Structures are given as structure tokens and as C-alpha cells.
Chain A
């Protein structure tokens, strides 16, 4: 992406019939990963989080190599310092909002972790949700709690899998703005899977297009939109009367 990349990921992996072969990098600007269903977006995020190991490749976040097939480095998820928010937010249903956020605090005393969690919930504007179980939270409230939980462990990188999916249009609009402002504020590498062009624009994200396990296009959203190389990209950016470009090598 840029010469001053904060994170890089060269990954070769297989999952069933899907073969993933990608090279991505990013700086502090959010990176949006777009692509059709089955392209491997969630798989890629889960590999970065440490759920499975690639066949080959190298993943670096900051100065830390979290995976390197050459020298056998393969850090466990708990040592990767990534904040992972899966589809549906992945809140623990048996814990309150405060319990969910406190889960990520490595404090010796529970009173201290509760204090830090309460502070983080206030930070994301969700202080009043402390005592509620996830089943009693709306989609937007869940998103705030999940973001607070991901941030409290001070991650070196954030991985967000469709953080605005399954929300009504009004909530989506409000939360998109919230997410954009918070990501700008926390200033840390972020990879966001999305199916919505408005998310890409609001986050001012660098775009990677993943199709069939490979990166078919990358660049700023207007670069990608101006030269769509596939029907998916043309449809995603709503390009009228398109003429597809030959694609990047």
C-alpha cells in the first residue's frame, strides 16, 4: 500500500475449495476489505486474529511478526494484540455489557478491571448500558460495547467484520458516523470488512477488493471506482455505463 506500512500480511491458505492468496498492507488509515460472498473476507480476518494458520506467508503488525512460515513464528491469538469484532459483534451472552468489556482487562483486582471497563464504556457513550445483558441491547448498543471491549485491551490492530450489517438504515447512518469518528480518534491500524460503499467513504478507507481468494484491485475508493475491473466492483461503486478495465497484475 505505502512505503510507511504499519502492518503487512502475505497469506497463502486453503479452506475447503477456497484458496486464499493475498498480500495486503496498511498504515493508520482504515482499510476496507470488500468482495462478494464466499471471497474469503471473514476467513482472512480470522487468519489475522489467529483462528487458523496460513500454509505460507508472513504477517507483521508494527514491529512484531505474528506469523512467518519461514522461521515457524505463529503467535497464539492471545499474544497477537488484535482487537477482533466478528459479525454480530460476538458479545458474551452470559456477561453484562460491563462484564464483556472487563473481560479484556488484565488487572489483578476485579474492582480495577470493572473501573477501567466502566471508563471505556463512558468513552464510547455507553455508560448507561453497564448492567444490561447483550440480549437486551440493540444492534447499535452492541456495536458500542463490542468496540469498547476490543479497544480496552489496547490492540495493535483492529479487525472489524461487517460492523454495520443487520442494522436498520437510521441506526446504520448514526453508527457509521460514530465508528468513523472513533477510528479517527484512536488512530490505530484497522481492517474493516464491509458490503456498503457508504462505510468506505465515511471511514475514508483504503480499499482492497477480494474476489475468489485473490486481491483483484486496491486503492483509494475513487481510484477503484474509476477503473472497475470486475462486475462486482462496478456494482459496488454503482458505476453507470461501465467499461471494465483489464485489471492489475
Chain B
């Protein structure tokens, strides 16, 4: 039986290898000198700066709009919440290219909202706002789901206690629910940011790949591969480094989970 167990386990390790080896390969793909040349490539700086700007803005939008939505999803279990919960998951299961087409059909020139917006002098598609919208659409579900799960673990009795101690609903939410759910909110925010940073398909279709305007790092990698593979590797290493840092950060946050006191729901007598 030992050999059977070993052969089954080896299948698992084969998969683990497949997950890890590409990241390792990046590290040895280029010498430090080649990397320096890659960083100096004209594609590197503008795409890095654009990615940082747009992902920070999209994360801010996701957090500001997603937190109240997550709270509403967590606060009750009626059919509107269940429906909204399923709708929030939609961008996760839809291929990014389909999301891009959907956004184009919404905000493009002949889209549902694109025409009226253009009359107001606002062009969304194939401009930086399109990058941000695409990032928001694909990354928001990760934050909203994590935040709703974190809020569901907040004992409703703690909020009632806060109310009896003089807090308004908003005060109880801000001073009790948010701090208790904070590890979950941070994890969700980190996952959403990572997803936004790596966003490719929807951005390409909805925003195009215009240097300095819509060409984020994932799009710049594709372009760089055609001209200078060193630049592609340098950009890839930056993205991989960000991913590793996020992973370490998430592990750290996992150690800050709230105590059982905060997460145990009171039983009805």
C-alpha cells in the first residue's frame, strides 16, 4: 500500500511543482545586467506608474462602495441578499474577455451609457477610466465576498451593546463592526488589488493598449515580448514580487483573526 500512497502523493506534488516552478524560472531567466536593461526599457516606467495609479484608485472605489454592499449582504438573509450575492460572483465566473465586451457594450460609443456620457463630453472606453472600470469590475467580487464573510462573523449582540451604549447604527458599524472585521477586509482588499494588478482580458478589449494611457503592466508584457524579452521579464518580476509580498502579508493578517468572542453568534434562548 505504501507505493500506492506514494504514487497518489506524487500527483499532488507534481501539481505543486507546476505552481511553483514558473515563478522560480522567472528568477533565473535574466542576469542582473539584463534586468537593469529591462527596467530601463521605455515600456517599463509608464506601465508601472499607470498600473500603480489605476489599481490604487480602483481599490479605493471597491472599498468605498464594496464595504456598504458587503454589510448589507451580511446583515440579512432574504431573497434580495441571496440574489445580490449571486450577482456579485458573476465577474468571477465570467471570462475576462466577456466582461470586457460587456463593458464595451455599456460604456462604448454605441453602448447603453456610452452615448449619453459622450454627449456630456465624457469618454470612457479606450481611455484611463476604462482601465479603472475594468479593474473595479473584475476585482470587486473578491473584496465584497471577503468583507461579507468577515461581517457575518461579527456577533450581532456586540452591535446591540454598542447601540445601548449610545452609538448610532453608523457609529456601531464604524467603531465595532469595522475593527472586528478588519483582518477580513484587509485580506479581501489585498486579493482585489492583486486581481486588479493582473487584469488583462477585460482591459485589452475595453481600454485597448495605449502607452501611458491604458497600457498597464500585463499589457506591456505582451508588447515587450515582441520587441525585448528582458523588459517582459523585468515587468513580470515586479508583478511576481508584488504577488509574493501580498501572499506574505495575507499570512500575517491571517494571524490577526478576531477572537472567538467576536465571532461567536449568540444563541436564542
Contacts and interface: CB of A to CB of B under 8 A. Distances in A.
Interface of A: 15, 35, 37-43, 46, 49-51, 76-78, 80, 82-88, 90-94, 103-104, 106, 134-135, 149, 153, 155, 161, 193
Query: Which of B155, B165, B259, B261 has the largest number of chain A CB atoms within 10 A?
Result: B165
A52 to B, nearest CB: 10
Interface in B134-159: 155-158
B17 interface: no
Interface in B151-171: 155-158, 160-168
B2 interface: no
B230 to A, nearest CB: 48
A37 B267 CA distance: 10
A141 B140 CA distance: 42
Dominant secondary structure of chain B at its interface with chain A: helix
Contacts of A76: 163, 168
A103 B165 contact: yes
Given A35-B269, A40-B269, A135-B261, A90 B161 contact: yes
Given A37-B269, A42-B269, A86 B261 contact: no
A93 B266 contact: no
Contact of A93 (B161, B166, B261): B261
Given A50-B164, A84-B161, A91 B261 contact: yes
Given A93-B258, A94-B179, A135-B259, A49 B268 contact: no
B266 A50 contact: no
Given A40-B268, A94-B179, A103-B162, 10 more contacts: A49-B163, A78-B163, A78-B168, A82-B164, A86-B157, A90-B158, A92-B176, A94-B180, A106-B166, A135-B259
Contact of A77 (B163, B180, B258, B262): B163
Contact of A38 (B160, B179, B269): B269
The size class of the interface chain B forms with chain A is: 20 to 34
Contacts of B258: 93-94
Contacts of A94: 179-180, 182, 258, 262
Interface in B39-68: none
A153 B163 contact: no
A153 B269 CA distance: 26
B110 interface: no
A154 to B, nearest CB: 11
Nearest to B179: A94
Interface of B: 155-158, 160-168, 175-176, 179-180, 182, 258-259, 261-262, 264, 266-269
Contacts of A155: 164
Nearest to A45: B269
A88 B160 contact: no
B180 to A, nearest CB: 6
3 closest A-B pairs by beta carbon, nearest first, are A77-B163, A41-B269, A104-B165
Contacts of A104: 165-166
11 contacts: A50-B160, A50-B163, A78-B164, A78-B167, A80-B164, A86-B157, A90-B158, A93-B258, A134-B259, A149-B161, A153-B165
Contacts of A35: 269
Contacts of B157: 86-88, 90
A38 B258 CA distance: 29
B269 A149 contact: no
Contacts of B167: 78
Given A86-B160, A94-B258, A42 B268 contact: yes
B259 A93 contact: yes
